[in-house]
Structure 1
Amino acid sequence: MRPANIVTAVADVLAGIAISGFLGSEMVNYLDHLLPVLCLCLATIGLYGGGVVFNDVMDAKLDTVERPERPIPSGIISMNQAIVLGSYLLLVGILAAFTVARVTGFIALGITVCALVYDKWGKHRAWGPVNMGLCRGLNLLLGISIVMPALQAYWWMGIIPVVYIAAVTYISRGEVHGGNAMTIRIAAVAYALVYGTMVALAYYNEHLLIASPFILLFIIMINRPLWIAMKNPTGPNIGKAVKGGIIALIAMNAAWVAAFSTLQHALLVLILLPISMLIAKAFAVT
């Protein structure tokens, strides 16, 4: 299920909720409005967990050669058990989303379709990185959809995670056999577009001072391993760059919260970072 990654998916949803304005002091009494937030967190846990379980199901034969330590080829879990688990997680995710709003449920269905298409076909095609990015972009919109007028106003923000995750996925293709420096340079340009947009939106919302430390943390987290991989694009170095890019999503989401909400809310999201990093020591991220 990639539990460390699931924590980053929860951060996506929390960032979307902050962008929607749901956390504004005039709109929300925390206890009265806690249920839809919890349902969205449950939804993204199910959707992300189910998606990566089916990723291992689709890759089971390939993993027997390239990654025999994975749960299915190593015999820790059977193929049938994995299919049941993945189906259950996706179903829970979709149902939890529909409890919030009909549009939220349809977004969850979109995430499910995108995840399964990527698992079956996308990862081996040129459009695969964009396909994976769509999963994250829709995940951000899942959070924003908690306030429907906000979804209509900020739907375009779903494009930003698409660009970022497409870049991460693009370089991840060299994780097993190594990659090339040009691929990593292209990813670096995409990264720069993303944090440039973050700075622009924080400035537009007059939250640049609050958001700057979070944006800086995000830049450091993604560029340090990327620079090492650019100088020496071996499989292990690329793997570290991909892992760094995924875990850094929490810093990215904390920056979005700081750009649209308060410092306190951003710090609450950032607390997920050490939790994800700790879990990543015990479980696979990529």
Structure 2
Amino acid sequence: MPKSSILFVTKIRAYLEVMRPANIVTAFADVLAGFAVAGGAIALQSGELQISPEGLVWLLLSTFGLYGGGVIFNDYFDADLDAEERPERPIPSGRLSKTEVAILGILFFLIGIGAAYQVNAYSIVLAVLITVGSLLYDSWGKHSVLWGPLLMGLCRGWNLLLGCSIVPITLLIDWYLPFIPITYIASITLISQGEVHGGSQKSGFTALGLVILVTGSLLLLGAQSTYELMMALPFIIIFGGMVIPPFLKAAINPNPDFIKDAVKRGVLSLVLLNSALAAGFGGLMLGLLVVALLPISIGLAKLFAVT
């Protein structure tokens, strides 16, 4: 293979590494779950399901840009730290410059906000909030025990609402739902703070408690009329089975290997969390559509780093 071709492939590989494709797939699940919630809400109000499929495509493109921009800037702001702890990452290894990564991140954020512009004003506001929240997390918040989990959780909660925004009235009816992904992401972010040098049992058991709280919250949603618990129950059981054991192991023995496994399982299981919401609000087929993203995300996680 010519040297120019090898350099091109190396560069493309490096760009894909900073994008963390497996994580972006989980963001699609957020929007699809929000879409399902919107369908349930509008059906309750009018007895009809009238949602534009074009709007859903734009929102999926929006979350692709917004989440992609967030993870790309994560490498930008972590360049000096990665030089010490992860020298194989694209910037410290010299495969990409900080300028190249910044330009790519800005491009992704512009795609995200531009796609949201095609839907409605509520989608635009949420896209801007996600952009600002992501940059605050990447540049400052991730180093805070309090603000790191909160900012990352807010971004995932807003991403769920981005899917809901296709029917704006849903934002008023189901305003509380983002607290579920916020709590879940807070648990992942909290335990991930020890994935390089090891963590503490206190943080581990707090994260485990939050995961159990999230699982219980999915069950409690059955108390409302638009959520079919029996449709969601298989997805909830699988979700709990995927995340609770590795979080428990990492809490009991918070060494970096166990923590990395818990974080990886936690990120990938976002798809299962969203599938439970999608099945409960939108029916079995929509739940299965969301869970079909999981093998895609797992496959990509084998090729590109998740954390």
Do both share a fold (TM > 0.5)?
Answer: yes
1:178 maps to 198
The equivalences for 1:1-286 within 5 A come to: 1-21=19-39, 26-28=48-50, 33-126=52-145, 127-205=147-225, 207-286=228-307
Deviations 1:87-120 (A, max 9, x none): 0000000010111101110100000000000111
Which residue identity is paired with 2:74?
N
What number of residue pairs does the alignment pair up? 283
Distance, in Å, in 1 between the alignment partners of 2:246 and 2:178 is: 25
Which residue identity is paired with 2:160?
L
The alignment's TM-score, normalised by the length of structure 2, stands at: 0.89
Distance, in Å, in 2 between the alignment partners of 1:100 and 1:231 is: 46
Return 19-28 or 209-218, whichever deviates more: 19-28
Deviation at residue 203 of structure 1 after TM alignment: 4.3
Which residue identity is paired with 2:289?
L
Q: Does the aligned pair in 2 maintain the 1:202–1:260 contact within 8 Å? A: no
Q: Does the aligned pair in 2 maintain the 1:13–1:40 contact within 8 Å? A: yes
Deviation at residue 236 of structure 1 after TM alignment: 1.2
CA RMSD of aligned residues (A): 1.4
Q: Larger C-alpha radius of gyration, 1 or 2?
A: 2
Distance, in Å, in 1 between the alignment partners of 2:95 and 2:121 is: 38
Secondary structure at the counterpart of residue 177 of structure 2: helix
Which residue identity is paired with 2:206?
I
Q: Does the aligned pair in 1 maintain the 2:122–2:165 contact within 8 Å? A: yes
2:5 maps to none
Deviation at residue 188 of structure 1 after TM alignment: 1.2
Gaps of 5+ in 1: none
Secondary structure at the counterpart of residue 254 of structure 2: coil
Deviations 1:110-135 (A, max 9, x none): 00000000111101123211111111
Deviation at residue 227 of structure 1 after TM alignment: 2.1
Q: Does the aligned pair in 1 maintain the 2:191–2:207 contact within 8 Å? A: yes
Q: Does the aligned pair in 2 maintain the 1:2–1:52 contact within 8 Å? A: yes
Deviations 1:148-194 (A, max 9, x none): 11111112211211111011100100000001222111111111111
Deviation at residue 224 of structure 1 after TM alignment: 2.0
Distance, in Å, in 2 between the alignment partners of 1:227 and 1:158 is: 24
Gaps of 5+ in 2: 1-18
Distance, in Å, in 2 between the alignment partners of 1:219 and 1:19 is: 21
Identity of aligned residues (%): 49
Deviation at residue 26 of structure 1 after TM alignment: 3.0
